[in-house]
Amino acid sequence: MATALPDMQHVFDQTISALRTQIDDRLDAWLPQTPLPDVLAAAMRDGTLAPGKRIRPLLLMLALKDLQDEAATSVGLDLACALEMVHAASLFLDDLPCMDNAEMRRGRPTIHRQYGEDVAVLGSVALLSHAFNIAASTQGITAEVRIQLVQLLAQATGSQGLSRGQLHDLREGKHARPLEAITQTNCLKTCPLFTAAVGFAALLAGANATCTYHLNAYATELGQAFQLLDDLADGLSAQQIGKDSGKDSGKSTVIALLGRDAARQRIDAHLASAGRHLVDAGIGGGQLAQLLGYFCSRPH
């Protein structure tokens, strides 16, 4: 009697769970271990290790699987931690009273509410320093690749990446904007770390220019869909999403401009486009494609 093949979604879920465990274990090792009452170390650990999707590290690790570079797994895990530290650092700042003024993040009080605004700012700076140290000191790769990794991370966090995206959101989001301007803000807010993740994988695996281009395009489309899903979730309760809800009230978002149904249609279009880029990259049936299925299956 033939043995039934395991359900692909179940196998993928197991892969995601195992990767998240590996990422969290490596994060725990990288973060400062100084015992309390070191408030800075405590804030860095609490904000980074709090339960989250780990989507940026997962993008890197899944891309390495698709590019069939298992030898780079250990290096990839370290760089995945760097990405998650940058993401956590951005959340420390985004939640501050002078920015989004949030009270809850990942089901817990925000870092500035727990530890104070001074610790939130300094903890963010410390996490960024940790991330760049990881990228700059990664072993087992050439100095040229290491420099390119640092450059990618700098571009993602700097004035043409996350920093500009947050500024656009704060200064321009309060005013009526055309769809193109909203889309550009969404791209700057979310896509830089997505493209950095697959860019890291492409560098580590030595992917060619065509593959790298389509991986970056995939990450951009996925980032746009991810931001729209986040905007849709803003209409749910804080208990459901684990963070403040209703923060988009009065802001110029895709949902405010076009409505929820149109936003859902745009999510589907972004995910479909992302899938086509994976096919063009030569990895259309791999792990990153299954990640798209995971997004498609989420209620939105």
Q: Percent of the chain beyond pLDDT 90?
A: 71
pTM over 0.75: yes
Pairing of strands 108-109, 104-105: antiparallel
| Per-residue pLDDT tens over the stretch 233-258 | 876 655 555 665 566 677 888 998 89
pLDDT in tens, 143-172: 999 999 999 999 999 988 999 999 988 888
- For position 1, what pLDDT does the model report? 38
The set of residues, in sequence order, having a beta carbon less than 8 Å from that of 16 and lying 6+ positions away, is 58, 294
Count CA atoms within 13 Å of residue 75 on its CB side: 22
Average pLDDT, the chain: 90
Q: CA of 289: how far to CAs of 133, 172, 258, 282, 300, in Å?
A: 31, 34, 28, 11, 19
Higher pLDDT, 23 or 238: 23
Separation in Å, CA 21 to CA 196, 200, 295, 297: 21, 20, 20, 22
What ranges make up the beta strands (E) of 40-171? 104-105, 108-109
